[in-house]
Amino acid sequence: MSRPVTLFSGQWADMPIETICRKTKEFGYDGIELGCWGDHIEIDKADQSYCEQRKAILKKYDLQLFTISTHLVGQAVCDNPDQRHKAILPPYIWGDGDPEGIRKRAAKEIIKTGEVANRLGIENVVGFTGSSIWHLLYPFPAVPPQMIDEGYKDFARRWGPIFDEYKKLGVKYCFEVHPTEIAFDITTSKRALEAVDYHPAFGFNYDPSHMAYQGVDYVKFIYDFADRIFHVHMKDVTWSDGPKDVGVFGGHTNFGDHRRCWDFRSVGRGRVDFENVIRALNDIGYNGPLSVEWEDPGMDREQGAAESCEYVKAVDFKPSDIAFDDAFANE
């Protein structure tokens, strides 16, 4: 194994932090990626004393910490918040439900999250951005280019000041390319970088699963953004090569519905080519953690977390430090 393997706690937020830390160690992981919901990391409480207490829990279970994740609050920065957001946001972010007020409070919370990362002694925050233009994905009625342009300008206006604060803190925002966000494939990722003038505090949490079922070249993504991949999620997905009842847009069905053409799978049980993902990460010199984001609607999560850890440790390998044919050379 050449990299630490961690478990993202976001899908385990129903468990107290001590419980999920104990289980994470029992599953075989080297560390944990703490989500900023449940009681794992509570940004409004996370002063230095709180952060020291969290570090003590991690030390108790011999777990490393490389990042914290703020997908839920990050989503509200550029979205037009509605009742879906109320269900996932802290009440103090939702407030009176006024959309612009929510967006501004969410932005302040993201900056505070960077400050908490700094107190914890880590350099990465993973999360979403939201998008004011995702609903314009399919161009009918015809979408004037200016509307898309405005969406990226809105992203830059709202996130640029956040990235400025992260730069001061020495923290990076690792954006997870994902449908519903400002970037969801290679082309939109380039456009998002351009919108913020390639801000040094803005990069990616690489997750192949969200691109694979769309037909996006998720291995090429690694090479295209070699200097911007700050963190990696190991997450698997399967998709159908033949016709299904429900297409790539999901058909208003829930995950796990057998009619869908794609769904998430326990790591190693889907169709993501992790062999070539690892080779590409080796090529670009990525030495950070491989964080398992476990989602499989048809499988027991504890069995899945344990087997995913074993699989990732088996599939990972160090790059060669010699050319194999050097052995043939004469001294």
pLDDT in tens, 253-295: 999 999 999 999 999 999 999 999 999 999 999 999 999 999 9
Condensed to tens digits (0 to 9), the pLDDT of residues 188-199 reads: 999 999 999 999
- Looking at domain 5-328, its CATH architecture is Alpha-Beta Barrel (3.20)
Which residue bears the tokens 């233009």? 133
Percent of the chain past pLDDT 90, that is, above it, reads 95
pLDDT of residue 324: 63
- What's the whole-model pTM score? 0.96
* Span 212-253, pLDDT tens digits: 999 999 999 999 999 999 999 999 999 999 989 999 999 999
Residue 60 φ/ψ, nearest 5 degrees: -55, -40
Radius of gyration of the chain (CA): 20
Q: Where are the domains of the chain?
A: 5-328
Q: How far apart are CA 291 and CA 171, in angstroms?
A: 18
What's the angle, vertex CA 20, arms to CA 14 and CA 26, rounded to 5? 145
